[in-house]
Structure 1
Amino acid sequence: MSEYSEIDDLIPDVDMPAEFVERINRAPAEITDEAETFMPRRNFLKLTGIVGGGLVLGFALSGAPRTLAAPKGTEASTDTAFTSNVFTPNAYIQIKPDGTIVIAAKNPEIGQGVKTTLPMIIAEELEAPWESVSVIQSDIDAKRFGRQSAGGSQSTPRNWRPLRQAGAVAREMLIAAAAKTWGVSKAQCFADQGFIVNRENNRKLSYAELAGTAAELPVPNGKKVPLKKRSDYKLLGTFVPGVDNHSLVTGKPLFGIDQKLPGQLYATYTKCPQFGGGVKQANLQEIKALPGVVDAFVIEGNGIQTELLSGVAIVTKSTYEAFQAAKALRVEWDLSSAATDSWEDIQQKASALTDKPGAAKKSKGSVDKALATAHKTVSGYYTYPFLAHANLEPQNCTAWYRNGKMDIWAPSQTPQSIPGLVSSAVGIPAEDITVTQCRIGGGFGRRLMNDYACEAAAIAYRTKAPIKLMWNREADTAHDFYRVGGFHKLTGALNAEGTLTGLRDRTITFYPKDADDSRPVRAGNASSGNLQCPEIPNLSIEAHPLPLQVPTGWWRAPVSCSLAWVYQSFIHELAVAAERDHLEFLLEQFGAPRWTGRRRAGDFNTERAIDVVKLAAKNGDWGRPQKDGQGRGLSFYFSHLGYFAQVAEVTVDEQNNVKVDRVVVAGDVGMLLNKSAGVNQVEGSVTDALSVLAGQEISFENGAVQQSNFDTYPLLRMPAQPKIEVHWLSTQYPPTGLGEPAFPPLAAAVTNAIFDATGKRIRTMPISKEGFKVI
Structure 2
Amino acid sequence: MNAPDLASAGRRNFLRSSALAGGGLVLGFYLNGTGNAAEQVAKPAAAPGAEFKPNAFIRIGRDGIVTLVSKQPEIGQGIKTSLPAVIAEELEVSWKDVRIVQGDLDPVYGRQSAGGSTSTPTNYEDFRRLGATAKAMLVEAAARAWKVPPGECHAADSAVHHRPSKRRLGYGQLVEAAAALPVPDAKSVQVKDPKDFKLLGKRIGGVDNHAVVTGQPLFGVDTRLPGMLYAVYEKSPVFGGKVRRANLEAIKALPGVKDAFVIDGTADLRGLLPGVAIVAESTWAAWSARKQLQVEWDEGRFADHSWAGFVAEAQRLGKQPGATTLRKDGDVNAALAGAARTVEAAYTYPFISHASIEPQNCTAWFKDGSLELWAPTQNPAAGQELVTATLGIPKDKILLHITRSGGGFGRRLSADYIVEAAAIAQRVAAPVKLTWTREDDLRHDHFRAAGFHFLRGGTDAKGRLIAWHNHFVTFANPVTRDGKTTLQPGSGGSLSGDEFPGRWVDNCLLEQSAIECGVPMGPWRAPGSNVFAWVFHSFIDELAHAAGRDPLEFRLEILGDKAIMPGTGERGTPYDVSRMRRVLLDVAEKSGWGKRKFPKGQGQGIAFHFSHRGYIAEVAEVTVARDGSLKLDRVVVSTDIGAQIVNLSGAENQVEGSIVDGLGTLMFPELNIERGRIVQGNFNEYPLIRIPDAPTRVEVHFVKTDYPVTGLGEPAFPPLAPAVCNAIFAAIGKRVRQLPLSRTDLRWS
> Is contact 1:341-1:550 (8 Å) kept?
no
Q: Distance in 2 between matches of 1:286 and 1:102?
A: 52
Query: In the aligned structure 1, how far is the partner of 2:566 from the partner of 2:66?
Result: 43
Matched, 1:653 2:631: no
State the TM-score, normalizing by the size of structure 1: 0.88
2:454 is aligned to 489
Aligned to 1:542: 511
1:309 aligned onto 2:273: yes
Q: Is the 8 A contact 1:667 1:729 kept in 2?
A: yes
1:133 to 80, 98, 117: 98
Distance in 2 between residues matched to 1:677 and 1:396, nearest whole Å: 27
Q: Please state how far the C-alpha of 1:588 moved relative to its aligned partner.
A: 1.2
Greater alpha carbon shift after TM alignment, 408-417 vs 296-305:
296-305
**Pick from 517, 520, 538: which aligns with 1:551?**
520
Distance in 2 between the 1:93 and 1:340 partners? 56
Q: Which residue of 2 aligns with 1:327?
A: 291
- Once the two structures are superposed, the pairs formed by residues 268-667 of structure 1 within 5 Å of their partners are 268-358=232-322, 359-513=324-478, 516-517=485-486, 519-532=488-501, 534-597=503-566, 602-623=573-594, 624-667=596-639
Whether the aligned pair in 1 keeps the contact of 2:31 and 2:40 (CA below 8 Å) is: no
3-state SS of paired residue (1:447): helix
Distance 2:379 2:674 in 1: 31
d(CA) in 2 for partners of 1:276, 1:733? 46
- Give the aligned partner of residue 38 of structure 2: 37
AA aligned opposite 1:602: T
Range moving further from structure 2, 366-375 or 477-486: 366-375
Residue 705, structure 1, aligned to residue 665, structure 2: no
Residues 398 and 468 of structure 1 are in contact (CA less than 8 Å); yes or no, is this contact kept in structure 2?
yes
Q: Which residue of 2 aligns with 1:742?
A: 716
Question: How far apart are 1:593 and its partner, in Å?
Answer: 4.9
Q: Which residue number corresponds to residue 69 of structure 2?
A: 104
Instruction: Structure 1: state its 5+ residue gaps.
Output: 1-28, 50-55, 61-89
SS at match of 2:565: coil
Could you tell me how far apart the structure 1 residues matched to 2:446 and 2:413 are?
10
Q: Check if 1:226 corresponds to 2:190.
A: yes
CA shift, 1:576, in A, is 0.3
1: CA distance, partners of 2:32 / 2:456: 47
More displaced, 600-609 or 273-282?
600-609
Evaluate the alpha carbon distance shift between residue 551 and residue 545 of structure 1 in structure 2; reply closer, same or farther with a 3 A threshold: same
Distance in 2, Cα, partners of 1:193 & 1:435: 35
Farther off after superposition, 608-617 or 630-639:
608-617
C-alpha separation in 2, matches of 1:269 and 1:347 = 32
Whether 2:37 is the aligned partner of 1:46: answer: no
Q: CA deviation at 1:31?
A: 8.1
The TM-score with structure 2 as length reference comes to: 0.91
Q: Is 2:158 the partner of 1:194?
A: yes
The aligned counterpart of 1:58 is 52
Q: CA deviation at 1:535?
A: 3.3
What is the rounded CA distance, in whole Å, between the counterparts of 2:335 and 2:288 in structure 1? 64
- Whether contact under 8 Å (2:565, 2:574) holds in the other structure is yes
- Where in structure 2 are the equivalents of 1:684-763 lying within 5 Å? 684-722=657-695, 723-763=697-737
Equivalent-residue separation in structure 1 for 2:269 and 2:476 (angstroms): 15
Identity of aligned residues (%): 47
Instruction: Give the CA RMSD over aligned residues.
Output: 1.9
Cα distance in 1 for residues equivalent to 2:304 and 2:37:
44
Deviations 1:577-623 (A, max 9, x none): 11011111111111115122589982211111111112222222211
3-state SS of paired residue (2:216): coil
1:86-139 CA-to-partner distances (Å, cap 9, x unmatched) read xxxx61111111111111111000000000001011111111111111111112
What amino acid maps onto 1:742 in structure 2? A
1:402–1:737 distance in 2 versus 1, CA, 3 Å: same
For the Cα contact (< 8 Å) 1:282–1:330, is it kept in 2? yes
What secondary structure is seen at the aligned counterpart in 2 of 1:737?
coil
Which amino acid in 2 is paired with 1:665? V
CA contact (8 A) 2:32 2:39 kept: no
Q: CA deviation at 1:185?
A: 2.2
Deviation string for 1:414-468 (max 9, x for gaps)?
Answer: 1122222112222322221110000000111111111111111111110111111
> 1:459 is aligned with what amino acid?
I
Between the aligned partners of 1:221 and 1:483, the Cα distance in structure 2 is: 45
For the 8 Å contact 2:48–2:179, the answer to whether it is kept is no
The answer to whether the Cα contact below 8 Å between 1:107 and 1:155 also exists between their aligned partners in 2 is yes
Would you say 1:173 and 2:145 are equivalent positions?
Answer: no
Q: 1:641 to 1:324 in 2, by over 3 A?
A: same
Matched, 1:764 2:729: no
Q: Which amino acid aligns with 2:267?
A: G
Distance 1:342 1:527 in 2: 27
Size of the alignment, in residue pairs?
708
User: Matches of 1:290 and 1:583 in 2, distance apart?
Assistant: 66
